[in-house]
């Protein structure tokens, strides 16, 4: 590449300040906003052309340009500088610097440009690029991830219902190699699952993962110390990477993925705008097809595709995947009730009775529910989808159902009898029909506490009605009270009330056709 041509007034000013004012190269460069190498090169070229200041004043712009930039011994010996796009690609590789690239350049071209002009050549190109693209991303260093704000959809062919889904996008920093897929939601299971499939698509793991501060990634957003969601953090530890969320309201932290999302919207979503999909699987397959085409497209800036840059830059620098795929686990905080059970997914699992009122963490993964106290596992059960059911380990129960701290079935019944006989009868029936009496403690406590809200008399009437209907649970008693059914006579069941209701006489007028019309 030839020396950059300056406007003639700048060239004349360089020569004037150097030859007339005797200024130093750096002072001239600062004054005119050019590189020191440019000042040195222009001064040397003018001297080699046999010029002095008196001669420069006599020459026209065209003659001066010919004298300085024309082909001569000094110019023909210079080798062209490498394209700045190639320098930029090489700088993304681990350990590569401008100094190293210049040394390699001079090894191939001993008479080539010096280091200052080499850097100035690359710097001018770099400054012309957009602000958000100035981050220098090292190969294998960062994976940026986010969801697209624009959602694709599919249509149920039977009902015509439109199902909107999410478009997940992950982009490698150095090569711009992109992964995209559709997921039903942005929930943690889909978020972590998308990252698992992304690293498998890339066949390796980056040193850092940079997500936006959405809820599935960050539980407590903060500019300085964001709290990573427990499952996502566990995923990162499994793959040997680090989660580094982008700072709130700092778009340059996630510029790579924002551009990647825009590209995915243009080359994936926009190309599907006239297509209709009748299943999630059909939509997913089309996204995979368009993703392959996107990564194969040649980028004008680099003259290579994302796939080619990935093979040259990121793939050699990625860390190997672990032997075992991460299995999504869902964490939640739970509290042990007086029945020494915790609620996870509308089901109740036991822990040792000495842990009553303790705060625990529940982990659901691989068909197993694990319960932890201060990081130590205290119980594990097979997962159950039975709503309202109990899974109880006999070893967790008090010996022979005797003293359970201060709670026993007998004490629970006596407490209920203080409210009234029917409340005691219902509580006793609830405890008797459970496989283990402790499994009825929650329901009994809820019933007893209804006294504060509705009073003793109403609670007694509600318990009597619930017992007669064999509706032995807190929810039934609460429903009776909320709907005022405790005020009805015990014999006034909804069925009897309907039967006793007087028959209504149908309205007769000219606009009513009657049942005979339809026979």
CA distance 422 to 430: 12
The CA angle 68-69-70, to the nearest 5 degrees, is 100
Q: What is the pLDDT of residue 369?
A: 92
CA dihedral 476, 482, 486, 489 (to 10 degrees): -100
Residues in the chain: 519
Q: Which parts of the chain register pLDDT below 70? A: 1-9, 70-78, 94-95, 128-136, 219-225, 247-257, 399-407, 435-439, 491-519
Helix (H, G, I), strand (E, B) or coil at 142: strand
Structural domains of the chain ordered from first start = 8-131 (no CATH), 142-317 (3.30.420.10), 330-395 (no CATH), 409-500 (no CATH)
Q: Is 296 exposed, middle or buried (0-12, 13-18, 19+ CB in 10 A)?
A: exposed
Q: What is the pLDDT of residue 404?
A: 45
Average pLDDT of the chain? 81
Q: What is the pLDDT of residue 481?
A: 92
Q: What is the pLDDT of residue 73?
A: 40
How does pLDDT run across 189-227, given as a tens digit for each residue? 899 999 999 999 999 999 888 887 777 777 665 655 577
- pTM as predicted: 0.54
Q: What is the pLDDT of residue 95?
A: 66
CA distance 340 to 335: 9
Q: Are strands 347-350 and 341-344 parallel, antiparallel or unpaired?
A: antiparallel
Q: Where are the alpha helices (DSSP H) in 274-367?
A: 280-296, 306-309, 315-317
Q: What is the pLDDT of residue 471?
A: 85
CA distance 186 to 399: 46
Residue 237 half-sphere exposure, CB side, CA atoms within 13 Å?
A: 8
Q: What is the pLDDT of residue 247?
A: 64
Q: Which of 391, 385, 344 is nearest to 364 (CA)?
A: 344
Asked if 154 contacts 161 with a C-beta cutoff of 8 angstroms, the reply is no
Q: Is 518 exposed, middle or buried (0-12, 13-18, 19+ CB in 10 A)?
A: exposed
Q: What is the pLDDT of residue 70?
A: 64
How does pLDDT run across 64-118, given as a tens digit for each residue? 877 777 644 444 445 778 888 788 878 877 667 888 888 888 888 887 888 888 8
Q: What is the pLDDT of residue 497?
A: 41
CA distance 351 to 341: 6
Q: What is the pLDDT of residue 193?
A: 92
């Amino acid at each position: 590449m030839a020396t950059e041509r300056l406007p003639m007034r700048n060239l004349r000013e360089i020569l004037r300040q150097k030859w007339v004012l005797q200024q130093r190269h750096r002072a001239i460069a600062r004054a005119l906003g050019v590189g020191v190498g440019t000042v040195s090169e222009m001064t040397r070229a003018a001297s080699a052309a046999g010029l002095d200041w008196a001669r420069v004043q006599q020459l026209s712009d065209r003659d001066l340009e010919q004298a300085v930039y024309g082909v001569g011994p000094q110019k023909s010996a210079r080798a062209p500088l490498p394209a700045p796009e190639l320098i930029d690609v090489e700088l993304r590789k681990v350990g590569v610097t401008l100094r190293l690239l210049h040394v390699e350049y001079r090894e191939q071209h001993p008479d080539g440009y010096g280091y200052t002009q080499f850097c100035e050549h690359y710097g001018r190109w770099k400054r012309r690029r957009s602000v958000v693209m100035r981050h220098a991303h090292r190969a294998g260093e960062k994976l940026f991830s986010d969801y697209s704000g624009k959602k694709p959809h599919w249509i149920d062919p039977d009902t015509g219902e439109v199902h909107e889904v999410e478009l997940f996008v992950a982009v490698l920093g150095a090569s711009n190699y992109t992964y995209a897929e559709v997921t039903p939601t942005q929930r943690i299971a889909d978020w972590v699952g998308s990252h698992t499939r992304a690293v498998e698509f890339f066949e390796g793991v980056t040193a850092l993962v940079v997500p936006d501060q959405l809820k599935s990634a960050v539980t407590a957003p903060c500019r300085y110390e964001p709290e990573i969601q427990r499952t996502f953090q566990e995923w990162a530890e499994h793959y040997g990477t680090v989660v580094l969320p982008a700072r709130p309201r700092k778009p340059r932290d996630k510029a790579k993925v924002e551009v990647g999302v825009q590209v995915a919207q243009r080359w994936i979503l926009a190309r599907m705008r006239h297509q209709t999909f009748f299943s999630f699987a059909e939509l997913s397959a089309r996204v995979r097809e368009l993703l392959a085409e996107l990564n194969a497209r040649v980028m004008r800036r680099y003259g290579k595709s994302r796939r080619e840059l990935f093979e040259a830059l990121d793939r050699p620098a990625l860390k190997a995947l672990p032997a075992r795929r991460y299995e999504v686990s869902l964490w939640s905080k739970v509290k042990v009730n007086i029945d020494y059970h915790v609620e996870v997914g509308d089901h109740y699992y036991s822990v040792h009775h000495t842990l009553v009122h303790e705060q625990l963490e529940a982990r659901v993964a691989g068909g197993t529910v694990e319960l932890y106290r201060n990081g130590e596992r205290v119980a594990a059960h097979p997962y159950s989808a039975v709503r309202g059911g109990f899974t109880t380990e006999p070893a967790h129960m008090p010996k022979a159902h005797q003293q359970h701290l201060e709670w026993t079935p007998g004490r629970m019944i006596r407490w209920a009898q203080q409210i009234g006989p029917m409340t005691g009868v219902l509580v006793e029936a609830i405890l008797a029909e459970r496989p283990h009496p402790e499994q009825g403690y929650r329901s009994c406590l809820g019933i007893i506490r209804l006294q504060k809200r509705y009073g003793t008399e109403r609670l007694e009437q509600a318990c009597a009605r619930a017992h007669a209907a064999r509706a032995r649970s807190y929810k039934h008693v609460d429903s009776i009270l909320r709907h005022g059914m405790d005020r009805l006579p015990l014999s006034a069941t909804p069925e009897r009330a309907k039967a006793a209701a007087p028959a209504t006489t149908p309205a007769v007028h000219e606009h009513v056709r009657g049942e005979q019309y339809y026979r």
